[in-house]
Amino acid sequence: LYRAKAAGRGRTEVYDASMSATSTTGVHRELADAIAGRELVVHYQPIVDLADMRVVGYEALVRWQHPHRGLLLPGSFLALVQEAGLSVPLAQYVATSVVDFVARTRDKTRWVSVNVSADQLGDGEFATTLLGEISRRRVTPGRIVVELTESSLVASSTRIRHELTQLSAAGVPILLDDFGTGVSPLSYLRDLPVAGVKLDMSFTSGIPDDPTAGKVARALGALARELAMVTIAEGIEHEEQARYLHRNGWRYGQGWLFGGAQPAEATRT
């Protein structure tokens, strides 16, 4: 039913809120099938050392290779995944794919970051699943890194803290994603086992035109270094941004200047 309706719509249209209850169920079923049938794919974006632009790792970013709509980005389907109660199967799928990717990577120094949301952690099984895959595939735990989006942590609970502590104690570093944009980033740095921060790309994109964005980036970098944390700047599109961030204490960088997310097979490892 949903497929028939969707086929008549414009190609670029994303699932919208006006869908009837019936078609919502249809989308949910379609998503469940997509996860089971491997239509969801994980792409990898390089992370470089800003000192020499060498690739040190990758961020895993999920995409939906939709049979009719083409390659869909997470912004167009993650909310639906959550609504459909499929966050946990998605997290398991991504975790398995990422550990497999790392296990096959020839350069054993490279790491991969995987994104998790609060609802994926709140289930209480994520750490067990990820650590199980890591030990099954005999991967060094430090080569898998977990990225937490600050905004997804608003509901920070004891259970989430427990999951993060379990991962961190097993050697899986935790990074605070979109750093600088959340509601209480500083209390997360204090209360959670955070090994590093990823500067939100809104600061990067303000460089060089917005002096305030640049100064905030510099101050956040100084704070992270004071706490002996790993620093990664996101959304670097121009050489000048890379230079400024490196000069101001951001050690690693990621962005279109160095390459976008690519399928595993296309990623040179």
* Residues engaged in binding Mg ion (CB under 5 A): 115, 147, 177-178, 234
- Smallest gap from Cβ 114 to Mg ion, in A, equals 9
Cα–Cα distance list, 150 to 2, 175, 234 (Å): 34, 10, 15
Smallest distance from the beta carbon of 177 to ligand C2E, in angstroms?
5
Q: 204 — phi, psi (to 5°)?
A: -60, -45
Angle formed by the axes of helices 158-169 and 126-136, to 10°? 20
Residue 23 or 59 having the CB closest to ligand C2E = 59
> What residue 229 binds from Mg ion, ligand C2E, none (CB within 5 to 8 A, per partner kind)?
none
Q: Among residues 37 and 75, whose Cβ is nearest to ligand C2E?
A: 75
Closest approach of ligand C2E to the CB of residue 91, in Å? 7
Length of the chain: 269
Maximum CA extent, the chain: 57
3-state secondary structure of 64: strand
Rounded Cα distance, 234 and 258, in Å: 11
Per partner kind, with CB cut-offs from 5 to 8 A, the member of Mg ion, ligand C2E, none near residue 261 is: ligand C2E
Quick check: 49 and 255 in contact, CB under 8 A? no
**Binding-site ranges for ligand C2E (CB under 6 A):** 45, 61-62, 73-75, 78, 94, 115-117, 120, 147, 149, 177-178, 201, 234-237, 254-256, 261
Question: In the complex, what is the shortest distance from the CB of residue 141 to Mg ion, in angstroms, rounded to a whole number?
Answer: 19
Least distance to ligand C2E, CB of residue 21, Å? 26
Closest residue to ligand C2E, based on beta-carbon distance: 255
Q: Which does 6 bind (CB under 5 to 8 A by kind): ligand C2E, Mg ion, none?
A: none
Residue with smaller CB distance to ligand C2E, 180 or 221: 180
Nearer to ligand C2E, 23 or 200 (CB): 200
Cα 261 to Cα 45, 134, 200, distances in angstroms: 4, 23, 17
Distance CA 8, CA 4 (A): 7
Residue 25 DSSP code: H
Between 23 and 115, CB nearer to Mg ion: 115
Tokens describing residue 9: 């719509």
CB 223 → ligand C2E: shortest distance, Å? 19
- Structure-block tokens of residue 37: 């049938």
